[in-house]
Structure 1
């Protein structure tokens, strides 16, 4: 099976446009809404949100953060900027790829990434880049859907992956938590939902 590339993922989300908000709204009818709000509220200082999309997380940031929002889809980034303009958020939009973050080493206090690790064409490179831009005492906050712990669940996820990949660039059968840890992070699972398929994670640089 050929792998996705960044331009292919960008095209998918350009076509999806505001449809992503509809997908996000469906998830937010579940415990994922609570997980998202509680996770993003932990952000502090200079913050980078990777794959910010249309800005679904913006309303959850605490006062005082300085937020850079990065995305590969220009249409989504414009929507996020419009949303940021209605909120009291110090906001800088950046067009870019998670595997080649246009930020200096050790330049941010918090990286936020929600429901996006499944779409990265090169997840190991993306997580390594997140590690690179974090300050030594920084944190990365992830909300991800993860590989099922059950054999039956993994079979189902493998079956639907061609459909979700074609529509959204989403690989629901990825083993995301070990991939984050392998980039040089210590993992703390904060919350679980939907039978353990969704996790919120605080990852700190391993010393």
Structure 2
């Protein structure tokens, strides 16, 4: 697919194309556990300055804690506009910006906590993206993730490998990423790993 920059542009265009349909596409996951998982994710989050990396259409905004300095970034301008509208609707004060997770425009050690949900299936270079998150996270900060990953079960994992080219070419999402392994490669320490749906959907907490 070419360089990381080219891959990012290709995937961004795919998300721009589906932005107005994205919530509808996600509705099945939301009704079958997604809302509960998001609430669980945010119940774990602590700290005063928080970044949601990959805010998308703002599915997590409803669960943001009050009285915190919260930033949200996404590389899709159309999704950012939708998330800004949701923040206004829910009465949440959020600084939402168009930004690439692989090239964050924040200083080192800015955030007490960083949150992602179903993001690292789409980051073209997940190691680069994770290292950027590690850079802007404070030394005692934590990364909170709700992510779907490749199953370790032989049949299910193989099926995910077979279907992956279809999902990547349709909307840019890899369904067979090993995000726990990528976290370790990027220098994070796994503090918690909890399976929420088989071994595909996980709640992960990591530190520096």
Q: TM-score, normalization: structure 2? A: 0.93
Which residue in 2 is equivalent to 1:33? Answer: 35
Q: How does 1:54-203 map to 2 (within 5 A)?
A: 54-203=57-206
Equivalent residue, structure 2, for 1:48 = 51
Shift of 1:130: 0.4
Give the whole-Å Cα distance in 1 for the aligned partners of 2:100 and 2:132. Answer: 10
Q: How much does 1:90 deviate?
A: 2.2
Residues in 2 aligned to 1:126 and 1:73: alpha-carbon distance in whole angstroms:
16
Using the alignment, how far apart are the partners of 2:26 and 2:207 within structure 1?
27
TM-score normalised to the size of structure 1? 0.93
Asked if structure 2 preserves the Cα contact closer than 8 Å seen for 1:35 and 1:191, the reply is: no
Question: Number of aligned pairs?
Answer: 205
Between the aligned partners of 2:146 and 2:202, the Cα distance in structure 1 is 6
The separation in 2 between residues aligned to 1:24 and 1:9, in whole angstroms, is 18
C-alpha distance in structure 1 between counterparts of 2:40 and 2:76, whole Å = 26
After superposition, the CA RMSD in angstroms is 1.5
The secondary structure found in structure 2 opposite 1:94 is strand
* In structure 1, C-alpha distance between the alignment counterparts of 2:112 and 2:92, rounded to whole Å: 16
- Assess if the C-alpha contact under 8 Å between 1:193 and 1:199 holds in 2: yes
Please give the alpha-carbon distance, in whole angstroms, between the structure 1 residues aligned to 2:135 and 2:190: 16
- The alignment partner of 1:30 has SS state of helix
* Structure 1 alignment gaps of length 5 or more: none
